[in-house]
Amino acid sequence: MDNRTGSFWRLEHTNRRETVTLVVVFMILFTALGCGLDFMMGNLRLADGQLSGFPILTIVALAIGSIQSIASYYGGASIVLASVHARPLTADSAAHQMVLDVIGEMALAARMPVPRAYIIDDAAPNAFATGRDPAHSVICVTSGLVDEMDREELQGVLGHEMAHIRDYDIRTMMMIAVLVGGVALLADFVYRWAWFGGFGARGGNRDSNNGGGSAGVLIAIAVFVLAALAPIFAQLIAMGVSRQREYLADASSVEFTRNPRALLRALERIAETESPLRKASRGVAHLFIVNPFEGAHHDGEGFFANLLSTHPPLIRRIERLRVLAGEAAPGTPAAPAPGGGAS
């Protein structure tokens, strides 16, 4: 086994471990939300330091989390494609045939099965890959990408997406997309019930059932805080996991195409685009090659800007590719992207 093949195996092993860890983290969130709702409903009671009752809603939440984990693994790609209104890409035009040909070329370069191809009818140039493994992978492009990119630029973009498939990023990112939505829905239910039902006329009874007003109030506050923060925490996980993979996929695209200018030109062209992707949702934003809601002119730097972004700054990605292309020395400021959008 050569060093490169060994590194791929290490990446796959790392992504398998991270996927398991992420599922465990999300299951903990589901359990905590269900437990909080049990306390609010009075199924669990805390009296004189003793816990009593039966956690029926905790079990239900765990069941929901387990079902979502299984569904996201086996059917996550279909869920993601449906959420962005994607349809199968067929060779019904010369441009579409070119996309299919380039996908085949990148699969050959990566020594991977050819992914299924889908398209989103949207003018914003973008793309993403999803699926649970290379044998069940999908690459989805927007009509804007097909219309605006030449063959070389398409090679750069599709090489980037093929890298996500080869490195098994797609499995982790797909499961995050589904589980983030599940946590958000459950948290919203808990929050709404706690606000509109848990503190109604029966609120005083909840307190007494939980062994006094102080315990009941503390539990109620904990439930409110958890319900409010769980979706944010889940989204931060998605953002952090996504950012660290983009630079590696950029470098792998250069490896597949043997042409650092290919992805560089594509990202520069995307940086000129002002319109966001209309058919994307926040839950799947981390899947795309660039943030579907922000252009290069929104790419901030600094701790808080990076913390709240699904992608590393586009201008930094362009700068790194310029270095690979021999157009800039390491450590020198990058020139503004075409259109003057980057700051």
Q: Give the model's pLDDT for residue 227.
A: 74
Tell me whether residue 338 is in a domain: no
Tell me whether residue 334 is in a domain: no
Domain span at residue 246 reads 87-170+241-324
Q: Are residues 132 and 268 in the same domain?
A: yes
Q: Are residues 289 and 317 in the same domain?
A: yes
For residue 192, is pLDDT > 80? Answer: no
Q: Give the model's pLDDT for residue 34.
A: 83
Q: Are residues 220 and 253 in the same domain?
A: no
- CA pair distance 157, 249, nearest whole angstrom: 10
Could you tell me the two tokens for 239?
């953002």
The CATH number that applies at residue 132 is 3.30.2010.10
Tell me whether residue 341 is in a domain: no
- Could you count the other beta carbons within 10 Å of the beta carbon of residue 108? 12
Q: Mean pLDDT score of the chain, rounded to an integer?
A: 78
Provide the β-strand partners of residue 44: 53
Q: Could you give the 3-state DSSP secondary structure of residue 306?
A: helix
Q: Are residues 192 and 125 in the same domain?
A: no
- CA pair distance 299, 303, nearest whole angstrom: 12
- Could you count the other beta carbons within 10 Å of the beta carbon of residue 28? 11
For residue 168, give the nearest of 87, 249, 105 by alpha carbon: 249
Tell me whether residue 342 is in a domain: no
Tell me whether residue 330 is in a domain: no
- Between CA 55 and CA 62, with CA 59 as vertex, the angle to 5 degrees is 140
Q: Are residues 79 and 183 in the same domain?
A: yes
Q: Are residues 100 and 162 in the same domain?
A: yes
Q: Give the model's pLDDT for residue 176.
A: 78
What spatial distance separates the first Cα and last Cα of the chain, rounded to whole Å? 44
Q: Are residues 258 and 295 in the same domain?
A: yes
- Could you count the other beta carbons within 10 Å of the beta carbon of residue 76? 25
- CA pair distance 279, 217, nearest whole angstrom: 42
Q: Are residues 48 and 68 in the same domain?
A: yes
* Active-site residue list: 161
**Per-residue model confidence as pLDDT tens digits over 296-337:** 444 555 544 455 566 888 888 898 888 887 776 445 444 444
Tell me whether residue 101 is in a domain: yes
Could you tell me the two tokens for 150?
């030449």
**Residue where a domain terminates, one of 203, 223, 240:** 240
Q: Give the model's pLDDT for residue 233.
A: 75
Helix (H) or strand (E) holding 253: helix 213-257
Q: Give the model's pLDDT for residue 257.
A: 93
Which residues, 6+ apart, have CB-to-CB distance to 272 below 8 Å? 337, 338, 339, 341
Q: Are residues 104 and 39 in the same domain?
A: no
Tell me whether residue 25 is in a domain: yes
Q: Are residues 28 and 153 in the same domain?
A: no
Place of tokens 């310029």: 322
Q: Domain count of the chain?
A: 2
- CA pair distance 137, 142, nearest whole angstrom: 17
**Per-residue model confidence as pLDDT tens digits over 122-154:** 999 999 999 999 999 999 999 999 999 999 999
- CA pair distance 273, 251, nearest whole angstrom: 23
**Per-residue model confidence as pLDDT tens digits over 54-111:** 888 889 888 888 887 788 888 889 989 999 999 999 999 999 999 999 999 999 999 9
Q: Are residues 178 and 289 in the same domain?
A: no
- 224, amino acid identity: F
For residue 4, give the nearest of 163, 145, 233, 155 by alpha carbon: 163
Q: Give the model's pLDDT for residue 292.
A: 86
Tell me whether residue 290 is in a domain: yes
Q: Are residues 59 and 175 in the same domain?
A: yes
Predicted structure pTM score: 0.74
Provide the β-strand partners of residue 46: 51
Q: Are 123 and 174 in contact (CB under 8 A)?
A: no
- CA pair distance 114, 105, nearest whole angstrom: 9
Place of tokens 């140039």: 125
